[in-house]
């Protein structure tokens, strides 16, 4: 049984900041260093599993690409299916598509049309919440397919970019915050 609760200061210390990536002025919060820590990664997954276990989640919708690592580790703990929300042109089957604006540029996200059934309870997962555009586009796709967005979970929130305000109508959860972005 999982009982660990994440210690935010421990997890925060394991997330590396790379200045000026992918373009000048962006402080990139890099979770690959958290992935490399066995205890930090276990704390991350345990904490999310403890929060969402027993809430009737039927589909975990993971956002490309770091969301895939979180989703793959978390889905078996929740006993739910894993759905991949991918960038344009990566999924082989018929897709629903949504365009959105990023903190740095524009992008497009797609989900297989048969991946979510009407009425299914969905948890959206990604590594980081910045402006909220990526998550909002993913929520829109889920809702267009008839799914219900039960919650959206992140490892990191960047409060200065106000994604939580943009996504105010959803239940939101994150483990750590970085101010000043």
Could you list the residues that contact ligand AMP (CB under 6 A)?
26-29, 63, 66, 102-103, 126-135, 163
DSSP string across 85-130: EEETT--SS-EEEEEEEETTEEEEEEEETTSS-TT-EEEEEEEEES
Between 56 and 106, CB nearer to ligand AMP: 106
Between 94 and 127, CB nearer to ligand AMP: 127
Question: Shortest distance, CB of residue 41 to ligand AMP, whole angstroms?
Answer: 17
- Spot the catalytic one: 29, 64, 66, 86: 66
40: Cα separation from own chain's centroid: 17
- Spot the catalytic one: 29, 51, 97, 103: 103
Question: Shortest distance, CB of residue 167 to ligand AMP, whole angstroms?
Answer: 9
Q: Which two tokens stand for residue 108?
A: 């497009």
Catalytically active residues, by annotation: 66, 103
């Amino acid at each position: 049984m999982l009982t660990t609760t994440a210690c935010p200061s421990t997890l925060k210390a394991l997330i590396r900041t790379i200045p000026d990536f992918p373009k000048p002025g962006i402080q990139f919060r890099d979770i690959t260093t958290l992935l490399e820590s066995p205890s930090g990664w276990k704390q991350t997954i345990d904490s999310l599993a403890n929060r969402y276990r027993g809430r009737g989640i039927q589909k975990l919708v993971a956002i490309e690409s770091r969301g895939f690592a979180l989703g793959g580790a978390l889905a078996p703990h929740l006993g739910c299916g894993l759905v991949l929300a991918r960038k344009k042109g990566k999924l082989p089957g018929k897709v629903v598509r949504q365009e959105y604006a990023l903190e740095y540029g524009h992008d497009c996200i797609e989900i297989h049309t048969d991946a979510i059934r009407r009425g299914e309870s969905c948890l959206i997962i990604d590594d980081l919440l910045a402006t909220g555009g990526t998550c909002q586009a993913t929520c829109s796709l889920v809702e267009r397919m008839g799914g219900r967005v039960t919650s959206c979970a992140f490892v990191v929130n960047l409060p200065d970019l106000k994604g939580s305000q943009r996504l105010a109508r959803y239940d939101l959860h994150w483990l750590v915050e970085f101010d000043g972005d």
